[in-house]
């Protein structure tokens, strides 16, 4: 039997050689297997307990304003949540360097202790400085030691399905943001605030034990000396710099609806028992907003998906949040905004991994988080200062939020163009 000439002309398929600068070539990623999905499950628990707790800051803002810290202004109280966000991200370069040198094990152990210990101390706090130190400092240091290693470790196990894997992990933070507020709403009534915090701390401890046992990096640690230039070098890359600016600007507005929607809704007449479910509704929608855009990013490109969802979130804040003064519109906005903004958390690590050598993922993602931490620190106090309480008016806050979200989308678009040009159909 003769072989068709067309088949003889075809060269034998060859695997793309791995560049020397990246010994872990994408073709070597398992993209599945029991170990990889156990890492995803453990990282899911870590984000449930860390970022999921951060997603409840709107509940604490509302509670503190009417209970322990009622003599303080909304802007002053919001510094607790802002400090949590700032510390969680600002220590990213340090956490990233430790991760690159030692792996995730010791970070996860230390983070588990600090987070649980901080919550236990917060349950005893009655003064502003006590709550600020326990919840704003101690617990948030632990959260950073949980959130970042869990995310980095997941990135090392996937390539083709990286967006989906990170989306599933990030969904843990959404589920935490759903369950914690509902749990608190019932526990505070039954056992009081202090024991509500302690019960949550015990739940977190149980889940983090599983996370400590399952989260592993696929890449062995490679100790190397710490140099300042390692932190500055990524910022000399145009794509990385524009991505970082976009993340900073977007983060200025991302948490404003999460932190103030419950305050706004009750100020406009929503019953407190219904208002307590706004944050769970927002985070429940964010659960799908993290998995679906991650899946979408694997197919149309992470940058393309991020731009699309960022424009959606910014437009939603301007077009729907401003006129949302009755219960139905506020609930609809909470659900849609949760879906739109959730994509940012799921897609950003995949975007950084896309433009980075995987062996430097800890340092490069840490620098990104440190830049975002400044926005996290000032965002909520700016929002509190923009609210007019006599008469109650949230429009300036809402306009600021929508504007900076669209500004973030603009810089993501510039980063995409710097990476692949202006073509709209290219997967980036």
Return d(Cα 383, Cα 75) in angstroms, integer: 8
Distances (CA, A) of 120 to 164, 194, 202, 243, 360: 34, 9, 9, 37, 35
What pLDDT does 82 receive? 79
Question: What confidence score (pLDDT) does residue 17 get?
Answer: 38
Domain with 54, as residue range(s), is: 33-217+231-420
Residue 22 lies inside a defined structural domain of this protein: no
Please tell me the distance from the alpha carbon of residue 78 to that of residue 215, in angstroms, as a whole number: 33
| DSSP for residue 237 | S
Element (H, E) at 389: strand 388-389
* Residue 48: half-sphere exposure toward Cβ, Cα within 13 Å: 25
27 found inside a domain:
no
Helix residue ranges per DSSP H, 132-237: 139-155, 162-191, 193-214, 228-232
Residue 25 lies in a domain: no
Domain count within the chain: 1
pLDDT value at residue 58: 65
Residue 393 burial by CB count (10 A; 0-12/13-18/19+): exposed, middle or buried? middle
pLDDT for the residue numbered 214? 95
- The tokens describing 325, both together, are 């003064």
Q: What angle do the packed helices 74-90 and 256-267 form, to 10 degrees?
A: 160
Burial of residue 423 (CB within 10 Å: 0-12, 13-18, 19+) is exposed
Query: Given the DSSP bridges, would you call strands 392-393 and 388-389 parallel, antiparallel or unpaired?
Result: antiparallel
Q: Is residue 371 part of a domain?
A: yes
CB count within 10 Å of CB 357 equals 14
What pLDDT is attached to residue 139?
93
Q: Which two tokens stand for residue 18?
A: 């791995």
Dihedrals phi, psi of 69, to nearest 5 degrees: -115, 35
Round to whole Å and give the CA distance between 322 and 308.
Answer: 21
Residue 404 sits in a domain whose CATH number is 1.20.1250.20
What is the Cα–Cα distance from 187 to 343, expressed in whole angstroms?
31
Per-residue pLDDT of the chain (428 residues; tens, 9 = 90+): 444 444 444 444 443 333 333 344 444 555 657 888 899 999 999 999 998 888 777 678 778 888 888 888 877 887 888 788 788 888 888 888 888 888 899 999 999 999 999 999 988 888 888 989 999 899 999 999 998 899 889 988 887 788 888 889 989 988 998 899 889 888 988 998 889 999 999 999 999 999 999 999 888 877 666 677 777 888 899 999 999 999 999 999 998 998 888 888 988 889 888 888 888 898 889 888 888 888 888 889 999 999 999 999 999 999 999 999 889 999 999 999 999 998 898 899 889 988 988 777 788 888 888 898 888 888 888 888 888 766 788 999 999 999 999 999 999 999 999 998 877 778 88
pLDDT at 32: 59
Rounded to 10 deg, the angle between the 57-66 and 278-300 helix axes is 160
Predicted confidence at residue 5, as pLDDT, reads 45
How far apart (Å, rounded) are the C-alpha atoms in residues 14 and 425? 28
State which H helix or E strand residue 392 sits in. Answer: strand 392-393
Q: Which of 29, 15, 10 is nearest to 358 (CA)?
A: 29
Q: b or e along 157-192 (b: 16 or more beta carbons within 10 Å of the residue's beta carbon)?
A: bbbebbbbbbbbbbbbbbbbbbbbbebbbebbeeee
Closest CA to 169 of 181, 183, 152: 152
pLDDT at residue number 31: 60
Spell out the residues 6+ positions from residue 2 whose beta carbon is closer than 8 angstroms to its own.
Answer: none
Number of neighbouring beta carbons within 10 Å of residue 92 = 25
Q: Is residue 206 part of a domain?
A: yes
User: In whole angstroms, what is the distance from residue 61 CA to residue 85 CA?
Assistant: 14
What pLDDT shows up at residue 2?
46
């Amino acid at each position: 039997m003769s072989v068709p000439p067309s088949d003889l002309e075809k060269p034998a398929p060859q695997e793309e050689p791995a560049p020397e600068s990246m010994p872990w070539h994408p073709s070597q990623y398992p993209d599945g297997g029991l170990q990889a999905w156990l890492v995803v499950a453990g990282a899911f628990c870590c984000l449930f307990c860390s970022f999921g707790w951060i997603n409840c800051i709107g509940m604490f803002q509302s509670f503190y304003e009417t209970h322990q810290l009622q003599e303080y202004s909304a802007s002053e109280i919001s510094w607790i949540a802002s400090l949590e966000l700032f510390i969680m991200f600002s220590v990213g370069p340090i956490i990233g360097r430790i991760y690159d040198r030692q792996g995730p094990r010791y970070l996860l152990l230390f983070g588990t202790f600090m987070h649980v210990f901080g919550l236990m101390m917060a349950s005893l706090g009655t003064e502003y400085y006590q709550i600020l130190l326990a919840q704003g400092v101690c617990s948030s240091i632990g959260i950073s030691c949980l959130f970042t290693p869990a995310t980095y470790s997941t990135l090392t196990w996937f390539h083709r399905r990286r967006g989906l894997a990170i989306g599933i992990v990030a969904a843990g933070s959404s589920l935490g943001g759903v369950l914690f507020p509902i749990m608190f709403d019932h526990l505070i009534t039954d056992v009081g605030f202090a024991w509500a915090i302690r019960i949550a701390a015990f739940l977190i401890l149980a889940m983090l034990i599983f996370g400590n046992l399952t989260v592993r990096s696929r890449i062995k640690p490679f100790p190397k000396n710490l140099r300042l230039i390692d932190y500055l070098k990524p910022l000399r890359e145009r794509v990385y710099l524009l991505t970082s600016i976009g993340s900073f600007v977007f983060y200025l507005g991302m948490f404003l609806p999460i932190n103030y929607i419950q305050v706004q809704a009750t100020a406009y007449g929503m019953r407190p028992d219904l208002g307590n479910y706004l944050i769970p509704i927002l985070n429940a929608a964010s659960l799908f907003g993290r998995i679906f855009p991650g899946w979408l990013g694997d197919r149309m490109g992470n940058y393309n998906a991020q731009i699309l969802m960022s424009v959606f979130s910014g437009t939603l804040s301007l077009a729907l949040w401003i006129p949302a003064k009755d219960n139905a519109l506020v609930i609809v906005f909470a659900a849609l905004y949760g879906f739109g903004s959730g994509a940012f958390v799921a897609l950003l690590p995949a975007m950084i991994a896309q433009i980075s050598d995987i062996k430097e993922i800890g340092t490069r993602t840490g620098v990104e988080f440190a830049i975002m931490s400044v926005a996290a620190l000032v965002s909520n106090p700016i929002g509190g200062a923009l609210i007019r309480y006599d008469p109650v008016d949230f429009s300036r806050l809402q306009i600021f939020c929508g504007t900076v979200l669209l500004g973030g989308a603009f810089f993501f678009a510039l980063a995409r163009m710097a990476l692949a040009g202006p073509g709209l159909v290219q997967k980036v």
